[in-house]
Amino acid sequence: MSLVAGVDSSTQSCKVVVLDAETGALVREGRASHPDGTEVHPDHWWWALSKAFDDSGGLAGVKSLSVGGQQHGMVLLDAAGAVLRPALLWNDTRSAGAAAALTEEVGAEDFAQRTGLVPVASFTVTKVRWVRDHEPEIAGRVAAVALPHDWLTWRLRGYGPAGASPLGPDLGQLTTDRSDASGTGYWNPASGTYDLELFSLAFGRGAVEAGTESHTERSGAVILPRVLAPGESPGQVHPAVAGEALPPGHSVLLGAGAGDNAAAALGLDARPGDVVVSVGTSGTVFAISDEPVGDPSGTVAGFADASGLFLPIAVTLNAARVLTSVAGLLGVDYDELSRLALEAEPGAGGVVLVPYFEGERTPNLPHATASFSGLTIASTTRSNFARAAVEGMLCGLAGGLDALRALGHPAERLLLIGGAVQNPAVQRIAAQVFDLPVLVPSPGEYVARGAAVQAAWALTGERPAWNVALDGHPEPDFRPAIAEQYRAEQRKAEQGAS
């Protein structure tokens, strides 16, 4: 049996799955936690990756692996390969002002045309502007800017800080893939190239792509990772890095890696016509498209996918933690939250939660806060609060589906994934909020599985066709009044936060 491994280095943890390369069947898996926060030193990801490999039984028998990672996180390296500051993650909103400034300087329509997106605080381009403006001493020492999965792949190959890695700080060996590059705000999915002018505008210094002729000619420029094609490999895992996880004489090929949502699409084998709704730390709504997308409103970001197509996506900052927060407020666990939510009638007796606990990205309201409304003596019940939490979270995501449709994307079925969707109330209410057939794939680490698809692709030269099992198909029960009630309160919240 040939084995491949996929890694999901997410905001909260690192997961490793080891699969049969022919069938995609799970053989073993492991995980380790990441620290909380909106800025994290990348060394924590490296330590967690090692622990997750150990927890999965090591790399014995694994012929290829690939890393999927949280998108947008800004990893700044100096000329000696050292990390200059903790990485600013996607959910760090301190760069909201930088996003507004960049949009004003370039224009939303021009930005969308050139990169597929309009700046919001999540994107890397806003974070490099923030560092330029607020940490000039650090900005002056930056030799390379990478993303989380880029940095992990580079380290796995044996590169890293001088004196602490087998091959040292060769920044010209940094690589990424088209899906993760497309989330930076300075890469063009339509042309497949960096927009170096935009990077320079944001950071105040020129940049070059690693491994290109201009890289060797412009030694003072900031290095950006070389963008690999689908199925391309950057090299192999260095034996000294893998240590005891790699048996003597055994080599492991590396895949290109991917941003987390693009990796999930690969893991689900999503195709045009599918809409994926992922309920994790963040909430995402994305589809696979044959054509690049540019939305000047900024509601939909026109990313590239990891297969050679495109991945229009809408993202909310508030997803599973909405349920966690309200469950804590009510003093119940997830099972009891589900029971309470299903005890209430659709519409929660008029109670609405606009769940902007962490600000919001879609719509772009980084400083907004959450609010319950519609409370009367009769409606203020534990069951209505529980149901309003589920409805509010899902209605926020339904807005992303509406935005995709407004851009002309076909929507034939909805794939609902993420740890929170195992909650029976989430599945039942999703069938009432979304006017599409809802399918719930069997629980699994789909980002890590998608990375494993890349690993198999790099190993064999062909994208594998693995079966995706379904765990649920809730009866369609679309209730448009739920969304109408939510939208009315959402508009009030937006007016108050603007």
Q: Which residues are catalytic?
A: 260
Report CA-CA distances (Å) from 490 to 90, 362, 439, 487.
Answer: 23, 12, 27, 5
CB 342 within 8 A of CB 426: no
Number of neighbouring beta carbons within 10 Å of residue 476: 12
- Note whether 285 and 265 are within 8 A (CB): no
Output the six-digit token pair for 350: 């008029």
> Was 72 annotated as part of a binding site?
yes
> Which has the closest alpha carbon to 76: 134, 120, 8, 13?
134
Q: For residue 113, give every residue at least 6 positions away whose Cβ sits within 8 Å of its Cβ, in sequence order, or none.
A: 294
Angle at 273 between CA 261 and CA 24, to 5 degrees: 55
CA 23 to the chain's CA centroid: 26
Please tell me the distance from the alpha carbon of residue 456 to that of residue 198, in angstroms, as a whole number.
35
Instruction: For residue 116, report the phi and psi dihedrals to the nearest 5 degrees.
Output: 85, 0
Size of the chain, expressed as the number of residues it contains? 498
The verdict on whether residue 215 carries a ligand-binding annotation is no
Pairing verdict, β 13-20 and 283-287: unpaired
Strands, DSSP E only, in 108-225? 144-146, 175-177, 187-188, 193-194, 207-209, 222-224
Q: Cα–Cα distance between 339 and 423 in angstroms, integer?
A: 9
Residues at the annotated binding site? Answer: 71-72
Residues at the annotated binding site for substrate? Answer: 71-72
